[in-house]
Structures are given as structure tokens and as C-alpha cells.
Chains A and B, each alone.
Chain A
């Protein structure tokens, strides 16, 4: 079975500050990991994904995440927050014989203060 835990349902940062959203996963098979962003009344948009290879993954809008197998983590970071980054962020895992079945965390709402 696979699962995802996102630490902190709400994170608030100041504009220009570092963004760090935490994600830990559980998987009995090599995982594929994803970060999605959801703006109000919109669908989810892929930020980045880890499948194989390089463990530091760069995505859109300046976000990146690092796969750390020893820590079973896939934390999302951005060096400098912008007001437009305010949204809900979801970490998801799949792999093995799950096909395309994504298992999502409960989400982290990011607020950015001026």
C-alpha cells in the first residue's frame, strides 16, 4: 500500500521568503512522486514529478523538490515566494502495479503575505 503525509495543512510566508512544503511518503515499491498546485475553483496543475534518475527535480514557476529515499521525503521548495504562489499544494505518489492511480496527501494551503 502507498500513502502520503503532508506536514502542515496551512503554511504562511512573507513575499520573498523561502517556501518549504513538506511531504513524506510510504511505498513498498519504488515510488513515482508528484507535486500538483490547485488555484481556487480550478483543477490541479502539475508542478513537477520524480520518476527515476536525478533526485533533484526542477519544475515550473521556480519550484523544485528533492527525492530522499532514506528519509522517504519529497519536500517542495522555492527560494523566494511571490504573491501568485498562494494556492493549495498536493503531493502524490504512485508506482508498482498501481498504474496511474495517484494517492494524494491532504494538501497544504500556502498563504503569502505582502
Chain B
């Protein structure tokens, strides 16, 4: 069974440029998560989708970040414009259901460097 796929794996951009990350969850998983992981820290949830609906986006900085999950499968996370402080690893995860006990499976992440 294929795991969570993320692309690109690495991205280097100049500040004020836009950037987008893509995530393909495990087939059949209804819930999708985007996490932000700063260097030396644990991941922090940015947004959680149940199918196409964003059910928790309270930690998403909506002035510059946006996300979508069309058709309830793939998802894209966008930053526009990027700032120096956005340099981090962006992790995507998926789970079969929405319950707190459901195991979340993580992708390898996209490492963003903003110059």
C-alpha cells in the first residue's frame, strides 16, 4: 500500500514569492491534515479536512496561507507571499476516519527555505 505522497520534497524561494505544496493521502483515507514543523520542534496542526470540509483551520494564518482539498482526495497548501519565518517542514498526514484514536500516517514532508 502506497503511503502519503508529498511534493516537492524541497523548495527554495525568495521572500515575497508564492509557493505551493501538494499532498496525496493514502487511498480511502477521509481525513487529511497539514502540519508545520519548525526546526527542533514537534509538528503543529495547521488545518484538518474531513473529506472536502475544513473542520479545523484555527491555526492557519489566513492572511497568507490557504488550502484546498478538491473532491476530497488530494490537497494543496499555498503561501502567498512567503516570509523568512515560513522556513520549515510542511507535513501532510491522513487517517481513515475522523476519530481521535485513528492513526495518522505522515508523508515525508516538504522542506521550505525562504531566502
Contacts and interface: CB of A to CB of B under 8 A. Distances in A.
Contacts of B105: 46
Interface stretch (A13-21, A65-73, A78-86, A98-106): A98-106
Main secondary structure of the interface of B (DSSP, over half): loop
Interface stretch (B12-20, B42-50, B71-79): B42-50
Contacts of B21: none
Given A44-B43, A100-B31, A104-B44, A32 B108 contact: no
A80 to B, nearest CB: 26
A106 B48 contact: no
B112 interface: no
A46 B106 CA distance: 9
B95 A100 contact: yes
Measured as residues with beta carbon below 8 angstroms from the partner, the interface class of chain B is: 20 to 34
A107 B37 CA distance: 11
Contacts of B48: 99-101
Contact of A107 (B42, B55, B102, B103): B42
Measured as residues with beta carbon below 8 angstroms from the partner, the interface class of chain A is: 20 to 34
A108 to B, nearest CB: 10
Contact of B4 (A36, A43, A46, A98): A43
A107 B41 contact: yes
Interface of B: 3-4, 31, 33, 40-45, 48, 55-56, 91, 93, 95, 98-109
26 contacts: A4-B42, A41-B108, A42-B108, A43-B4, A43-B93, A44-B91, A44-B93, A44-B106, A46-B103, A46-B105, A51-B101, A90-B43, A96-B100, A98-B100, A99-B55, A100-B48, A100-B95, A100-B98, A100-B104, A102-B104, A104-B43, A105-B42, A106-B40, A107-B40, A107-B41, A107-B42
Interface of A: 4, 9, 32, 36, 41-46, 49, 51, 90, 92, 94-96, 98-102, 104-107
